[in-house]
């Protein structure tokens, strides 16, 4: 496991620490009136309430600040704007640009889940002239401004993971985009479960009763079909899955 590299006391440069794999804004669409969702752990079946900001949804400074606040945020913001229009019924067909936004979001979710599961470690770069020694404050100022740095000839894991996220998103997009054709799936019999690991069939949950699925026509799922899909989503999960209310999830 990659060691958590604590920032300076008080985090004076406001570096990104808790990094969601599935965004808090997306989780919030599944929250009940109290602002919480129901979370079930796969290991023991225990169920508890959780807020979208709960630490279970987050990696701890696993990739660098620029990757989180620039690269990832841009993809998230584009998707959240579109998701708001979809939930509001203002978009019923996806343009080529909208299709790219959805595909990029799914690719980002998958990339971050993969990095969280198998993060890189600090790496020695042979043949690289050792960089100058810096104070922690100097390192944090560099990271805040989007610069990578090394400690001697060792690159911190989060710099490598940040680069890996960009690489993985591009790789997944090249696999998805050539045939991408996202459809809206409305639940007419129950609500969706949300896995902690992106479903293989490019499934993006948007709200308790709405999801986007690649290479699928717009359709409605009755309770029997929802039961089959939710069972697949539960199996796809690694550590946990959540929903607004499990009693509503066949």
pLDDT one digit per residue (tens) for the chain, 250 residues:
677 889 999 999 999 999 999 999 999 999 999 999 999 999 999 999 999 999 999 999 999 999 999 999 999 999 999 999 999 999 989 999 999 999 999 999 999 999 999 998 888 877 666 677 889 999 999 999 999 888 888 889 999 999 999 999 999 999 998 889 999 999 999 999 999 999 877 899 999 999 999 988 899 999 999 999 999 999 999 999 999 999 999 9
Give a yes or no: residue 61 inside a domain: yes
Q: Is residue 249 part of a domain?
A: no
Domain assignment present for residue 169? The answer is yes
According to DSSP, residue 238 is labeled S
| Count of CA atoms in the C-beta half-sphere (13 A) of 178 | 4
Is residue 160 included in any domain, yes or no? yes
Range of the domain at 37: 18-128+135-178
Q: Cα separations (Å) of 163 from 75, 95, 156, 158, 169?
A: 15, 29, 12, 9, 10
In a domain? residue 112? yes
Is 80 contained in some domain?
yes
Q: State the pLDDT at residue 122.
A: 85
Tokens of 109: 């979710």
Q: Is the pTM of this model over 0.85?
A: yes
Flag whether 77 is in a domain: yes
What is the pLDDT at residue 1? 60
Q: What is the pLDDT of residue 199?
A: 85
Number of structural domains found in the chain:
1
Q: Is 118 part of any domain?
A: yes
User: Whole-angstrom Cα distance, residue 75 to residue 79?
Assistant: 6
Biggest distance spanned by C-alpha atoms of the chain? 63
For 64-85, b/e burial (b = at least 16 CB within 10 A) is bbbbbbebbeebbebbbebbee
């Amino acid at each position: 496991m990659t060691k958590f590299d604590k920032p300076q006391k008080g985090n004076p440069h406001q570096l990104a620490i808790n990094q969601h794999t599935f965004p808090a804004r997306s989780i919030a669409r599944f929250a009940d009136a109290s602002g919480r969702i129901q979370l079930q752990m796969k290991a023991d079946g225990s169920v508890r309430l959780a807020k979208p900001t709960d630490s279970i949804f987050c990696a701890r400074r696993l990739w660098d600040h620029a990757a989180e606040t620039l690269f990832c945020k841009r993809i998230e913001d584009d998707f959240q704007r579109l998701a708001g229009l979809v939930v509001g019924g203002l978009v019923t067909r996806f343009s080529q640009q909208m299709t790219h936004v959805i595909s990029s979001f799914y690719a980002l979710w998958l990339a971050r889940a993969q990095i969280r599961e198998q993060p890189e470690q600090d790496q020695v770069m042979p043949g690289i002239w050792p960089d100058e020694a810096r104070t922690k404050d100097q390192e944090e100022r560099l990271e805040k401004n989007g610069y990578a740095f090394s400690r001697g000839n060792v690159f911190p894991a989060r710099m490598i993971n940040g680069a890996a996220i960009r690489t993985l998103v591009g790789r997944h997009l090249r696999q998805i985009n050539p045939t991408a054709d996202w459809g809206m799936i409305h639940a007419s019999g129950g609500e969706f479960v949300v896995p902690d690991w992106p479903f293989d069939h490019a499934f993006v949950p948007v709200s308790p009763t709405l999801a986007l699925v690649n290479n699928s026509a717009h359709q409605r799922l009755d309770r029997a079909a929802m039961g089959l899909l939710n069972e697949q989503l539960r199996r796809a999960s690694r550590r946990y899955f959540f929903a607004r209310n499990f009693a509503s999830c066949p």
